[in-house]
Amino acid sequence: MIKSRTLITLAKFQQRQSRQLLLLFVALQLLIWRNTLVVAVNVERINPYEKISEIQLNGRWWMGGGGPNNRSHYATDAVQEMWLTQKLDHFFEETGETTNQSGIEEQWMMRYLVNREFYEPGGPMFIVVGGEWEIHPNLLSEGHFYDMARQHNAIMFYTEHRFYGKSWPKDSAAVEALEYLSVRQSLEDLRYFIKYQKSSLRDLASSKVVLLGASYSGSMAAWFMKLYPNEANVAWASSAPLLAKMDFHEFMTLTMDVIEHKGGTECSEKLEKGFQDLHRILLSSSASKELLYNLQMCSNFDTNNELDISAFFNGLGNYFAAMAQLSSKFVTQFCQQFTEKDTTPTDALVQHIRDVFLPHSQDETKSHGHSQIWCLDLSYEGMKSLFSSEDDDIFNGNRCWFYQTCNEFGWFATTTSNDVAAHNVFGGQVALKFFRNLCQDVFQRSRITTATLLSPNMPSAGGLTLQELYSREWRTNHIFGGLTNISQNVIFTHGRLDPWRAVGMQHGRNVLLLEGYGHVEDLGSINLEDSVALNVAKLKVSAFINKALRES
């Protein structure tokens, strides 16, 4: 009996001890989980694409990133902000999809700017066509177009593209809303805008119309003249891409050519060698760990994930592309420092990446809003996050522009291609299938309706295929003609150092190629500090527009 009670007591003690050990184990696990959570919360991800976007904005003064003479403000007193009611779907009669619950066709408010300081009755309408950015008073306050408006006593307008800036037909960038984002809808917005101004203001009823577009909006100006030749008289398209091209391998190839031209062969070869070595290192398990540590890469980056590898090289390549096309001075400065470094191409490139993207001191870390624990996110998920938010895009336009490139234009900067004319650059790890995956993952097989007027038979089931991307490219070129059947009332200007010229007009009597200049570097006023060739080109633009206004 005593032995039995002893055994029972011992069993109860063991049960209590087991419960205590279990509770201790759970407590330890909670503590570990809590500490892990705190670390995770404190880790700040630095997305390099934010830096690239900043570089692009600062380099594009026509988008409000500072004037051509590095001025940060403009004489904007004469510029007024106005709003115009537009149809959500200009092709409503064909689609019948855009009525509200009351059966009334949906409308929205388009923002535009106007400057009347030079206008005299009978003067023309000078319209700056907005693109994938928020419009600012700059182009209505300075530049060559502004100077020409003064000469012709013109009224000036600046239209804002739907789904950019403050001109939002819908209150989000959800796929269902973006179905009404297309270049055809935007061209119809512009067409109605001109008709409205002429019908509402008696003095403008017979005014002639001059269009200016830069980059994508230059494409719009040229396409408007093709589709609606009786709605405007003449257009100036600066650095306008006209050929839709999904596999745009020429872009990065020409970027490397620009670096070689401005910085020398030694620089371009060392840079390419650095990119090739980065790829080789990422293939090695041990060497890649050291590289990721030196770059302070986020832990979500997987060297065995092909999409992460492509995102890594696409992000770094885009940085050099942005700098090469928008700031030729950067190329010279970069190459001088890069070639002088007495290190391997890989070490020199890694150090430059650190200098550009990572905080350098505690004060800088605080000023940029970063915590003391941070990492560089060059992963596929990091890139995808730039385009995935349906609400935040109201402030930056990234998702909307990516939607347009996926559905209409392509212009994806690949660095490896099946095209026999292509050769690999910047490590050669970014193929079209990378962007195919990105388009599919971001928009989850977005339903393309006839609202985009690309095709009523667009595939809607299954995964996005390369063939479907190429079909979208073909449809856009079929509508607008690519590089053929161009309106003769458009004058094109392109910098020879602009990689975008590969899909723009480079030949013809109405084409001016600017030696030594890059993307949209010709909109400023005639300036004696500029090259003779650039000033002569601007005079030719003026003469072209003057002649068109006289003869039309």
For 539, residues 6+ apart whose C-beta sits below 8 A from its C-beta are 526
Which DSSP helix (H) or strand (E) runs through 86? Answer: strand 79-87
Closest CA to 128 of 239, 189, 211, 67: 211
d(CA 447, CA 216): 24
Contact 356, 319 (CB under 8 A): yes
d(CA 505, CA 488): 12
Residue 294 CB burial class (10 angstroms; 0-12, 13-18, ≥19): middle
What 3-state DSSP class applies to 412?
Answer: strand
What 3-state DSSP class applies to 85?
Answer: strand
What's the token pair of residue 246?
A: 């999904």
* Fold of the 247-446+453-480 domain: Four Helix Bundle (Hemerythrin (Met), subunit A) (1.20.120)
- Structure-token match 């100077």, residue found: 147
Closest CA to 546 of 170, 79, 140, 234: 234
Closest CA to 378 of 460, 319, 461, 459: 319
For every residue of 126-148, DSSP letters joined together read EEEEP-SS---GGGGTSSHHHHH
pLDDT at res. 420: 64
**Are both 59-64+78-96+104-243+483-551 and 247-446+453-480 of the same fold?**
no
Alpha-carbon dihedral 277, 279, 281, 284, rounded to 10 degrees: -150
Phi, psi of 504 (to 5 degrees): -120, 180
Amino acid making up residue 407: N
Contact 303, 288 (CB under 8 A): yes
d(CA 392, CA 398): 9
H helix count then E strand count, the chain: 19, 12
Walking along the chain (552 residues) 10 residues at a time, the average pLDDT comes out as 41 47 40 36 73 66 51 67 97 61 79 97 97 94 97 98 96 93 98 97 94 98 97 98 97 95 96 97 93 94 96 95 80 93 94 88 46 82 88 76 97 87 87 96 61 38 85 97 95 95 96 94 94 97 97 88
pLDDT at res. 59: 58
Amino acid making up residue 437: N
pLDDT at res. 488: 96
For 28, residues 6+ apart whose C-beta sits below 8 A from its C-beta are none
Phi, psi of 285 (to 5 degrees): -60, -45
pLDDT at res. 77: 84
For 305, residues 6+ apart whose C-beta sits below 8 A from its C-beta are 380
d(CA 548, CA 233): 7
First to last CA, the chain: 120
What pTM value is reported for the model?
A: 0.85
Provide the 10 A C-beta neighbour count for residue 420: 6
What's the token pair of residue 236?
A: 């100036």
Q: Where are the domains of the chain?
A: 59-64+78-96+104-243+483-551, 247-446+453-480
Alpha-carbon dihedral 81, 490, 543, 206, rounded to 10 degrees: -60
Residue 367 CB burial class (10 angstroms; 0-12, 13-18, ≥19): exposed
CATH assignment of 59-64+78-96+104-243+483-551? 3.40.50.1820
What's the token pair of residue 368?
A: 């940029």
pLDDT at res. 9: 41
Q: How far does Cα 221 stand from its chain's mean position?
A: 19
Could you tell me where the beta strands, DSSP code E, fall in 480-551?
490-495, 511-514
For 365, residues 6+ apart whose C-beta sits below 8 A from its C-beta are 359, 371, 372, 374
d(CA 41, CA 39): 5
